[in-house]
Amino acid sequence: MDELILGRDLMICGLCKEEKGKLIDSHFMPAAAYPHVRGTEETGNGPPVLINLRKRSAIQTDRQVRRPLLCASCEDLFSKNGERIIGQLWATASGFPLLDLLNSEAAISKGERFDMYDSRLLDADVVGSIFYFAVSIFWRAQVWDWGYEGDAYKRALGSHYESQFRNFLLGKGALDNVLLFVNVNSDVDTSAVMTFPISGRIGADRLHTFSLLGLKFTMYVGRSISAVTRKPFEFHNTQIMFVSSDLKKSAAFQKLAGRVQSEVEAKGKLKASPANKFNHSRRP
């Protein structure tokens, strides 16, 4: 899925597959997200900490993951159909617009562990943009050239769904057997997180996940999605569901924190720092 050089001048856009004179140096995650995973003014506004669990290392870096992938038209599709809206909703130091929106317009139940929301009560364009954005990130993970870093996602989407996702992103069709679950983090102290897509199985379900600024996206893909997983989506007649919970109290966060403390070694300037404290930004 890398760009193909034709002669001296033309390349193939990864999304529309058309020959172009130039491809955009596309960001994997939105460029606008990176300032929000830096340190706060109180902590010196330093670079975020990249935690690589595979390499068991943690470094401070402002490096942004990007490469030539899309033509200008397709880059604009991603922007206007997903990134512009999501950039107005994610958590920042000044607030969390999506959490406020959910609580004010779409709350249906409050629980001890999590709150549930009805996506049908939200503006359809907002819901559609969130879904489009998630699909675009998983599609990028499938076609991205990870080079020496290795592919943590391992092309988990497969060729069939890569084609289906690509057509959807181009506006050429709907997505069947694809459900999106968005967990909105109610804890402001652990919202400045960016993780890249990974995939795994829970029972019969194949799920794909990534996190960005207070939002954890879990997408279920395939005809084998279990009846238990499908049931709440079918009950609410929706393809996307929202809940909110405190990430810090979750078992997954506690497990991750334990691994970071026991397995990860600080490198470079981070190791030399007297405080030697990690920000909450990480990449698997």
For 127-166, what is each residue's pLDDT tens digit? 999 999 999 999 999 999 887 667 889 999 999 999 999 9
% of the chain exceeding 90 in pLDDT:
61
Q: Can you tell me the mean pLDDT for 54-77? A: 82
pLDDT at 80 over 50: yes
pLDDT at 55 over 70: no
CA distances from 109 to 19, 89, 103, 243 (A): 50, 21, 10, 10
Closest by Cα among 134, 123, 98 to 211 = 134
58 contacts 278 by C-beta, under 8 angstroms: yes
**Range from 5-14, 18-27, 98-107, 253-262 that averages highest in pLDDT:** 98-107
pLDDT of residue 83: 97
217 phi and psi, to 5 degrees?
Answer: -100, 125
How far apart are the C-alpha atoms of 73 and 223, rounded to whole Å? 32
- DSSP character string of 111-170: -SS-EEE-GGGS-HHHHHHHHHHHHHHHHHHHH---GGG--SSTTTTHHHHHHHHHHHHT
For residue 66, give every residue at least 6 positions away whose Cβ sits within 8 Å of its Cβ, in sequence order, or none: 25, 26, 27, 28, 31
- Residue 102 in tokens: 């959910």
How far apart are the C-alpha atoms of 169 and 75, rounded to whole Å? 11
pLDDT of residue 266: 65
Closest by Cα among 233, 176, 184, 177 to 205 = 177
**Range from 20-29, 244-253, 261-270 that averages highest in pLDDT:** 20-29
Mean pLDDT of the chain: 84
The full set of domain ranges for the chain reads 11-272
Q: How many CB atoms lie within 10 A of CB 64?
A: 12
- DSSP character string of 28-97: SS-GGGGGGGSPPTTTT-PPPEEEETTTTEEEE-----EEEEE-HHHHHHHIIIIIHHHTTTS-BTTB-H
Select the more confidently predicted residue: 31 or 253. Answer: 31
pLDDT 10s digits, 175-233: 999 999 999 999 988 898 899 999 999 888 999 999 999 999 999 999 999 999 999 99
Q: How many CB atoms lie within 10 A of CB 217?
A: 23
Between 110-119, 192-201, 268-277, the lowest mean confidence (pLDDT) is in 268-277
How far apart are the C-alpha atoms of 85 and 128, rounded to whole Å? 10
282 contacts 270 by C-beta, under 8 angstroms: no
- Own/partner pairs for 30-36, CB < 8 Å, 24+ apart? 30/83, 30/86, 30/87, 31/64, 31/66, 32/83, 32/87, 33/87, 33/90, 33/194, 33/212, 33/213, 34/62, 34/64, 36/90, 36/91, 36/92, 36/93, 36/192, 36/213
154 phi and psi, to 5 degrees?
Answer: 60, 40
Secondary element (H or E) of residue 208: strand 205-212
Q: Can you tell me the mean pLDDT for 87-115? A: 93
pLDDT of residue 63: 78
Is the full-model pTM beyond 0.75? yes
24 contacts 72 by C-beta, under 8 angstroms: yes
pLDDT of residue 111: 79
